Amino acid sequence: MPEKIAFVTGGNRGLGFQTALELKDVAKVVIGSRELEQGKEAVKKLRAAGVDAEVLQFDVTQPASHEAAFDYFSSRYGRLDILVNNAGVAGGTFPGKGAEHNAGDVPMELLRKVFETNFFAQVALTEALLPLIRKSAAGRIVNLSSILGSLGLHADPKSPIYNAKSFAYDASKTALNAFTIHLAYDLRDTKIKVNSAHPGWVKTDMGGSQAPMELSEGAKTAVALATLTDDGPTGGFFHLGKPLPW
């Protein structure tokens, strides 16, 4: 059996795929993919690159997928060592207003949709898989957040994100950061480490082609947090090894 077992949600493309690729010398990697065929194609590429990879058809917003993931890891491996909560959605748009930016008129339907994927589903999946992570000798939970979830930077007129406000997305990542802090506290007497990762502005479908960072650099933070040694941090928010303000 491989030394470690990792689950990367949304691992069929973008940052999730790159994270799976970068874990090739660390773990057997199972990627979660909503579309099974896309996941199979991703696995072919991962295996060609030397990754011991498998795919699990998985929709992070569906409780049945959480149960199926638990059954999969429980029956095959009896544990889970690394969980990378990578799947997520952008803030979206709405008619007549373009990109969603305003807290004062954000449609509740959009707010609930973004929170369902970026927050509620992440919490539910982590809770579902936590019994298996507890069976790991050194469990690692990585929540893919964003610098846009930082309240400290959003409140600072001198910060680089002061004018980059997209309420639904930003607030969902702030809530995810709160989950990181609270879960790390709950697990403080275990060897499990829980951290939030800001990958940076990366060239992905969400980040766009104008983003300054390549995928290989964008995956570094999540991979580093997924492979922390026993003396590594927990309950933190990081980008490329540096802490970010909450």
- Do residues 177 and 196 lie in contact, with contact meaning Cβ atoms separated by under 8 Å? yes
CA–CA distance, 26 with 172 (Å, rounded to integer)? 30
Please spell the DSSP secondary structure of the chain, one letter per residue.
--S-EEEEETTTSHHHHHHHHHTTTT-EEEEEESSHHHHHHHHHHHHHTT--EEEEE--TT-HHHHHHHHHHHHHHTS--SEEEE-------EETTTEE---SSS--HHHHHHHHIIIIIHHHHHHHHHHHHHTTSSS-EEEEE--GGG-HHHHT-TTSTTTT---HHHHHHHHHHHHHHHHHHHHTTTSS-EEEEE---SBSSTTT-TT-SB-HHHHTHHHHHHHT--TTS--SEEEETTEE---
Strand partners, 238: 197, 243
Of 72, 77, 162, 169, the catalytic one is 169
Say which residue the tokens 């007549």 belong to: 96
Can 169 be counted among the known catalytic residues?
yes
- Residue 208's contacts (CB-CB under 8 Å, 6 or more residues apart) are none
> Which residues form the catalytic set?
169
